[in-house]
Structure 1
Amino acid sequence: MANPSKARGTAWESAIRDFTNAFLGLYKDDWRDLPASQRFLNMLDWRNVKRQAQEGAKDVGDLHAWPFILEAKDVKSPAVPTWLRQAEAEAVNAGFPYGVVIHKTRGKGPGMARVHITDETFLRLAADVPGIPWPSANKRSLYWTWTLADFAQVLTAVRGTSTPVSQ
């Protein structure tokens, strides 16, 4: 890739996909030795977290992890409120109920990345799925934060109570 920022973003999206799928047990045991297209236990499983192609004006997010749109950010200076508005608009475009942002934590693995969700979206999620782990609050803004490892547990809990409409 000629654009280093795009290459870094693609690598970060792939790291999120791989961490989350491995955490959820959706990858084969020897997945690290396989090309991305051959890592899944079942390529057609609706639970797979997958990178999405760019959709032009109606972007549908970087990754789909039903029922979440994941917007991946690998930048030094955070702009979380702006990113959250973007993630929520992309969730609407994709027909998903929730949009979140995953911001890379410098010098840490993907499990320590920060997953941000708006106060409004978290309250809807908590009403839809009682008993999910509460994230930590950001006192200056109206958003909440989990690590990606904690969010993967939330994803497991949410999926235990719902399935996509097509299922």
Structure 2
Amino acid sequence: MTNPSKAKGTRYEGEIRDFLNDRGFTVRRVVQMGTKDQGDLHGYPLHIIEAKNEKSLRLPEYVRQAEREAINAGEPFGVAFVKRPRASTGDGYAVRSIATDARLMARMRDMEAALQAVAPAAWALIDKQHREAA
């Protein structure tokens, strides 16, 4: 007999993986080994993803878990992807601490400035593509 909660979580991990891979990422589910959990999904640049599909939301716990597992996996950022009831995968929530988000945005700002300085045409093309995707 299988655990229904575990099956629900595993199914949600697969939905996230498929959603992100359909958008050009190479995300994979990971099997936990040893005592230091390294998150549910890897391959999302610079992140580990902790997937949560629970009836009651416990956001502080999810953020702490994602950040701890990012450290265990050697990634700079952790994010919890939380299932939104009766909504599609893309309408779920990405949850992180404000401190983590500020570190991520500082990195993006600095990388954008560096790219713009050395390859302005490439930067402009990428900027245009992402603005049109919104």
For this structure pair, what is the TM-score category when the shorter chain's length is used for normalisation? 0.7 to 0.9
2:38 is equivalent to residue 52 of structure 1: no
Counterpart mapping for 1:7-156 below 5 A: 7-24=7-24, 47-64=25-42, 65-130=44-109
2:9 is equivalent to residue 5 of structure 1: no
Q: Who is 1:151 aligned against?
A: none
The amino acid that maps onto 2:12 is W
Deviation at 1:66, TM superposition (A): 2.5
Deviation at 1:23, TM superposition (A): 1.7
CA–CA distance in structure 2, aligned partners of residues 109 and 56 of structure 1:
33
CA–CA distance in structure 1, aligned partners of residues 60 and 33 of structure 2:
23
Q: TM-score, normalised by structure 2?
A: 0.78
Q: Deviations over 1:123-142 (max 9, x none)?
A: 101110029xxxxxxxxxxx
SS in 2 for 1:19: helix
Deviation at 1:57, TM superposition (A): 1.5
Which one has the bigger helix percentage? 2
Q: Deviations over 1:138-167 (max 9, x none)?
A: xxxxxxxxxxxxxxxxxxx8xxxxxxxxxx
**Length, aligned pairs only:** 111
CA–CA distance in structure 1, aligned partners of residues 51 and 79 of structure 2:
9
CA–CA distance in structure 2, aligned partners of residues 60 and 68 of structure 1:
11
Q: Which has the larger radius of gyration?
A: 2
Deviation at 1:76, TM superposition (A): 1.3
Name the Cα RMSD after superposition: 1.8
Which structure 2 residue ranges, 5 or more long, are not aligned?
A: 111-129
Q: TM-score, normalised by structure 1?
A: 0.63
The amino acid that maps onto 2:80 is V
